[in-house]
Amino acid sequence: MEAAQEFITVDPDAVGQAGRSTAATTGAWRSWGNRTRSQFDVTTEQVVNSRLARAFGDYAAQWQPKIQVIAEEVVALGVGTTSAANTVDNGDVDSAAQLGTQTALASEQGSLLSRPINGSSAAV
């Protein structure tokens, strides 16, 4: 049975753009978190019952920081994705340079198989 060739094909430009686009949504996430907190504050002020108002305030205090954490995680995801694309792109450039150098060195040396195995003179 033939071993399957496993490799990843990546378009670093597309992946990098996806990372930048993802990171660019951070402002929208932060804004959503702030709007959510504002709505809870407005609701808390309009509720007549103090127990219910306290519950809204507690709920807002619990969730608003978590929403802001999402914004930071979106930034990290975008930056990480862009970094991965750059790593792949740089790896491609480095490996192409290394392969080119190795290929040139190998062609300068000639074949190691030009000597016959039985020790007779090689017909070159």
Domain boundaries of the chain, sorted by first residue: 34-79
Helix (H) or strand (E) holding 106: helix 50-109
Structure token pair of residue 31: 């804004």
Which residue matches tokens 């039985």? 118
The per-residue pLDDT for 47 is: 87
The per-residue pLDDT for 73 is: 94
Q: Report the mean per-residue pLDDT for the chain.
A: 82
The per-residue pLDDT for 1 is: 52
Distance from CA of residue 83 to its chain's centroid? 6
Q: Please write the tens of the pLDDT for every residue from 92-124.
A: 888 878 887 777 777 776 665 555 556 555 555
Q: Using 50 as the pLDDT threshold, list the residues of the chain that sit under it.
A: none
Q: Is the pTM of this model over 0.75?
A: no
The per-residue pLDDT for 119 is: 58
The per-residue pLDDT for 82 is: 93
Structure token pair of residue 78: 């975008």
